[in-house]
Amino acid sequence: MTGLDRREDVILQIQRSTCPLSGTKLAALYHVSRQVIVQDIALLRAAGYDIISTNRGYILNTAKAASRVFKVQHTDEQLEDELCSIIDLGGMVKNVMINHRVYGHIEAELNIDSRRRVAEFMEDIHSGKSSPLKNITSNYHYHKILADREETLNLIEGMLREKGYLIETENVRMTEQ
């Protein structure tokens, strides 16, 4: 099997898998070293495949089918918990938005979909590079959350409600097809 054949098969294996595939498992399947698989993944990414490395293995990033905008409020100390809780339930925090009385609508892309990205975001906040946008509107802000289906968004909504982050009267529901 050539390297090209192996990479074509690796992407098919990742696409068909219902769980993350580890580099070790893929290496055993093709009788190559794990480092060869790591190089194959790098080449596949360069070819345009959006492959995500998780702590359990590789997955293919697929388009999210549903989205919802939630109005939330929490303290700076609760920020990391909010983000981690959303991604742990399968959501992606697409953005943060505020409506300021003077400045109007302000929106920033976040694209937070992993604990690693949460950690990077929190490091930027803690290092003083920036402060949360919510701080200029008394902690009130909106997040557009993407998920694989409506049921996932319902779980996220329930969690936000349970933790006291959700502002009930202002939720805006949007579904993307």
Binding-site residues for Ni(2+) sit at 74, 82, 141, 143
Kindly state the DSSP code that residue 40 receives in the 8-state scheme.
Answer: H
Number of other CB atoms surrounding residue 118 within 10 Å: 22
Distance between CA atoms of residues 108 and 4, nearest Å: 39
Question: What is the C-alpha separation between 72 and 134, in angstroms, rounded?
Answer: 9
Task: Tell me how many helices (H) and strands (E) the chain has.
Answer: 6, 7
Residues annotated in the binding site, as ranges?
74, 82, 141, 143
Longest alpha-carbon distance in the chain: 63
Report which DSSP code applies to 77.
G
